[in-house]
Amino acid sequence: MVEKINLTCLGCPMGCPLQLSIVDGEIREVTGYECKRGEAYAKQEYTDPRRMVSTTVSCPTGLWPRLPVKTVDPVPKDRVPAVVQVLHTLEVKAPIQMGQIILANVAGTGVTVIATRSLPEMPEAGKTRANMLMVDS
Ligand code: SF4
């Protein structure tokens, strides 16, 4: 018996409707894609679904209290909560450069987390975040 699975490709904003035909747990056919990325996405999604993770981590010594970060590669979908949990409890120290490695092998996934923006240090005593921002702008 042929099982049909419908997916939407996340490879680009076109969001092509994909259909997998599965026989005895094996992919027999993928249809609906406009480019090869869609076929690869459908196969990956069926055999080993993965997601990129973007979030923020605490940076008490930074000019802003949170640093935006992301995984450099997608992590297994079922490991996303563990990755988010690790990053939720992580604290980093400013200054940070955009692209700097924040954490290697996050939650044992083998995937590295990097900063997606630079974050300078908190100003010295007497200067507040507000007046530093005014000076910067
Ligand atoms: S199949 Fe290709 S064109 Fe269609 S959504 Fe995926 S990446 Fe975009």
More confident residue, 101 or 137: 101
pLDDT for 123 = 82
Tens digits of residue pLDDT in 63-77 = 999 999 999 999 999
Based on the domain organization, do 26 and 67 belong to the same domain?
Answer: no
Based on the domain organization, do 28 and 92 belong to the same domain?
Answer: no
- Per the CB < 8 A criterion, the answer to whether 114 and 70 are in contact is yes
Could you say which of 11, 29, 47 is where a domain stops?
A: 47
Cβ of 14 closer than 6 Å to ligand 1, yes or no, is yes
Tens digits of residue pLDDT in 71-103 = 999 999 999 999 999 999 999 999 999 999 999
Query: 50 forms bridges with which residues in the sheet?
Result: 76
Residue from 9, 8, 4 nearest 21 by CA: 4
Closest Cα to atom 3, ligand 1: which residue?
A: 34
H-helix or E-strand spanning residue 19: strand 17-23
Closest Cα to atom 2, ligand 1: which residue?
A: 35
- The stretch 1-6 carries a mean pLDDT of 94
Tens digits of residue pLDDT in 16-57 = 999 999 999 999 999 999 999 999 999 999 999 999 999 999
Cβ of 67 closer than 6 Å to ligand 1, yes or no, is no
* Cα gap 50→73, rounded to integer Å: 9
Q: Which residues contact 26 (CB under 8 A, 6 or more apart)?
A: none
Q: Which residues contact 14 (CB under 8 A, 6 or more apart)?
A: 34
Between the CA of 126 and the centroid of ligand 1 the distance, in Å, is 53
pLDDT for 124 = 75
pLDDT for 137 = 45
* Cα gap 79→10, rounded to integer Å: 19
Q: Can you give the residue range of the structural domain that contains 23?
A: 2-47
Based on the domain organization, do 63 and 121 belong to the same domain?
Answer: yes
Phi and psi at residue 135, in whole multiples of 5°? -65, -40
Cβ of 34 closer than 6 Å to ligand 1, yes or no, is yes
Based on the domain organization, do 94 and 129 belong to the same domain?
Answer: yes
pLDDT for 107 = 97
Based on the domain organization, do 96 and 41 belong to the same domain?
Answer: no
Single-letter code of the amino acid located at 19: Q
Cβ of 33 closer than 6 Å to ligand 1, yes or no, is yes
Pocket mutation for ligand 1, best pick of 12, 31, 39 (most atoms within 8 Å of C-beta): 12
